[in-house]
């Protein structure tokens, strides 16, 4: 086993273990932290595939931003585990059905009539040749994204923009009861607005 293979199996094992922990751990904060670890090991596997842009972006976006916000919310909420588990028996048949469907599809794919063909393919398929050191995954991805896939890319961007506008529109309402400060007014305040000098005679001592 080469070093790269060892790394792959190590990170793959860690990823599967963490993914399992995400759905089995009782504490929601620990579950979110395991999800973070899953992302990190996934990013390590992508690095092994020389897809450094995707790997780094996964850490940057999902680990660095999305999961931080997720944890932020999860830590603040007092989630009652028992209530979440209430429907477990009720939904168990559906869950088993879905799991069975996926398992069946995978088994069908692997042990189909063409299984012999697939097995030989998997045996004879060599890993893609390693790229030269000056190969930039980022540039390659950018080129494809802005030429071949420019419309899907921009449509996705617009959909995200709509989602942002909608989210802000839903939460943006000015409450008249809250007091807030206007820093511009605070900074531009003049002496005469706040201070009044009163001239008066001193009192006589009686």
User: Which of 13, 16, 64, 153 lies at the binding interface for another protein (CB under 8 A)?
Assistant: 64
Cβ pair 40, 18 in contact under 8 A: no
Of 88 and 172, the one with the shorter C-beta distance to another protein is 172
* DSSP per residue, 114-128: THHHHHHHHHHPPPP
Torsion angle (degrees, nearest 10) of CA 117, 119, 123, 127: 90
Number of residues interacting with another protein: please give it, by CB under 8 A.
22
Q: How far is the CB of 134 from another protein (least distance, A)?
A: 8
Told to check if 36 binds another protein by CB under 8 A, we report: yes
For residue 68, state whether it binds another protein (rule: CB under 8 A): yes
Contact 11, 45 (CB under 8 A): yes
- Torsion angle, alpha carbons of 168, 169, 173, 174, to 10: 70
Q: Contact letters (x/-) for another protein, 136-155, by CB under 8 A?
A: xxx-----------------
31 binds another protein (CB under 8 A): no
- 17: contact with another protein by CB under 8 A: no
Q: How many CB atoms lie within 10 A of CB 24?
A: 9
Write the CB contacts of 83 (distance below 8 Å, at least 6 apart in sequence).
none
**Is 63 an interacting residue with respect to another protein (CB under 8 A)?**
yes
Note the residues at the interface with another protein (CB under 8 A): 29, 33, 36, 52-53, 56-57, 59-60, 63-65, 68-69, 71-72, 75-76, 136-138, 183
């Amino acid at each position: 086993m080469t070093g790269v293979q060892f790394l792959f199996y190590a990170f793959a094992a860690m990823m599967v273990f963490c993914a399992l922990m995400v759905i089995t751990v009782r504490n929601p904060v620990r579950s979110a932290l395991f999800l973070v670890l899953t992302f990190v090991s996934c990013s390590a596997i992508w690095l092994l595939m020389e897809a450094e842009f995707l790997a780094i972006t996964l850490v940057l976006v999902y680990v660095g931003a999305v999961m931080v916000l997720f944890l932020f919310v999860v830590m603040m909420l007092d989630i009652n585990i028992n209530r979440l588990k209430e429907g477990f028996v009720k939904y168990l048949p559906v869950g088993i059905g879905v799991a069975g469907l996926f398992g069946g599809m995978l088994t069908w794919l692997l042990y189909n009539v063409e299984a012999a063909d697939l097995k030989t393919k998997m045996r004879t398929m060599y890993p893609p040749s390693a790229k030269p050191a000056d190969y930039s995954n980022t540039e390659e991805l950018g080129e494809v994204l802005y030429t071949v896939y420019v419309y899907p890319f921009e449509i996705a961007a617009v959909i995200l923009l709509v989602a942002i506008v909608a989210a802000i529109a839903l939460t943006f309402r000015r409450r008249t009861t809250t007091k807030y400060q206007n820093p511009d007014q605070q900074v531009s305040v003049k002496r005469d607005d706040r201070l009044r000098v009163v001239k008066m005679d001193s009192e006589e001592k009686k």
